[in-house]
Structure formats: C-alpha cells, structure tokens
Amino acid sequence: MAVKIGIDPGHGGKDLGTVGKQFGLQEKEVNLSVALELDRLLRNHAVETLLTRNTDVYVGLAERVKLLNEAKVDLVISLHVNSASNSEANYLSTHILARGGQAEKLAQQVQANLVKVTGWPDGGVRVNNFYILRETAAPAILVEMGFMSNPLQEQLLREDGIRKKLATGIAIGTLNYLGKDFQPPPEEEVPYSDVKGHWAEKDILYLTKLGILQGYPDGTFRPEQTVTRAELAVVIKRVIDYLQQS
C-alpha cells in the first residue's frame, strides 16, 4: 500500500524561528536543510513525500495544515529546533497530540533512532497541544532536534554532518514504522578534493550543479580563497542568467 508522508520544515522566510546566540544560526535554515535530506532519503526508499516548503519562504501554520490535509497525506513529520532559558538543555524530543495512536508508534521509532544515530540525550516522546499536531487529519509528530540555546549544539547544527545524521535517524525510524529496512544511499561524488567535510560543502556542490560556481583545473575549489571583484561580477552574472532562464 502506497504511503504519502508530509514533511514540514518549521518556520521560514520572515519567521526565523529560534536564533542561536553564539553564531546567529537561524532555526528555519536548519529545519529546511534536514527536511530536504529527509525527503531525499525517503524518496530513495520509494516513499512518496510532500514538503510544506522547499525553499526559504514563509508559510503560515493554517496554510501548512491546509496543504497537508488537501493532499491527504498519511503521516506528518514537523521539524524544529528547541530553545530554553537553561543553556545546558541538550536533549532530543518527539511530540505527539495524545498517547495510544499511530502517531505515538511513529514517534517512538523516530525518537529511538534519533538518539542512536546522534548520541544526544533522550528527552523521550512527549504530549503537547501544538497546532500542527492538533489540526492535521493524519497522525502527526513534531521533532525537536536539540537546542539552539545550547552553544555546543548550535555549533554542531551548523555542520552538514549532524544535519544528515538527524535526517537519517528520522528516516530510519519512519521506515521501521512502515516495515521497511533502511538502505544508505550511495555517497554523492564530490568534484573538488578540498571541499569534503567543509561547512559550506553542500552549498558549493549545489551552486556548482547550477553552473553558478566553478572550481579550478587542478580539481580544487579553494573554499577559503579571497574572491576578486572580477570573479564576483562573473558569479552575479551567472545568477542573473540562471534566474532569467528559470
């Protein structure tokens, strides 16, 4: 039986969500990054998905719910990063509207695998009357992926590696709930020898695929090299050309 899963990256556009104090990391950006990776992983297992947003745009809660309900998704996974007055708070938690239903079964699988994959403290499955949980017709969970108010977790959440781990934990839990085995996707080929593991690796590869950025003939990208005014002009022109073509 085919299953459609709604993936809801919290916040977006003018709604920044929580902003970290140490690096100014915005929750909306983390949520979207994890959501796009989760979408990729689930689709790799032939699971149909629907994102409430796939770019940095503002989508109101009512509009998100309407989209999910009209699409008649079977499950909803909403992604957020927590915040607390206590900067030491650092646990993962998964929220549901009530105990005893399919949402709790999904939440238990997702929570267990998130903790396993990341090694972060287990905050458990919790009951909360969140709008997205209450108003969606399908069973829904809301995942709090650590704390932006925790300096160490804010630092880690800047990295592509931890975002992929979060997406992987959620994907494994979701697939386990669906009775499917998780198969890691093949590693994406990195065209440059010096960007693997760099904090901007994902953006560099994305812009390279669009033809906006290019590396050097020796197979390097030199991510820390200063950009000249001429190089900046070329990049801006490529962006304009891309937007006009789109």
Q: Could you give the residue numbers annotated as active site? A: 144
Amino acid identity, position 75: L
What is the distance between the alpha carbons of residues 95 and 142, in angstroms, rounded to a whole number?
A: 5
Dihedral in degrees, nearest 10, Cα atoms 30, 36, 41, 47: 130
What is the distance between the alpha carbons of residues 92 and 95, in angstroms, rounded to a whole number?
A: 10
- State both tokens at 36: 């796009």
What is the distance between the alpha carbons of residues 45 and 182, in angstroms, rounded to a whole number?
A: 8
Helices (H), 140-199: 151-157, 160-177
How would you class 245 by CB atoms within 10 Å of its CB: exposed for 0-12, middle for 13-18, buried for 19 or more? exposed
Exposed e or buried b for every residue in 182-194, given b needs 16+ CB within 10 A? Answer: beeeeeeebebeb
What is the distance between the alpha carbons of residues 19 and 59, in angstroms, rounded to a whole number?
A: 18
Compute the half-sphere exposure of residue 129: CA atoms within 13 Å on the CB side of its CA: 0
What is the distance between the alpha carbons of residues 145 and 153, in angstroms, rounded to a whole number?
A: 9
What is the distance between the alpha carbons of residues 42 and 82, in angstroms, rounded to a whole number?
A: 24
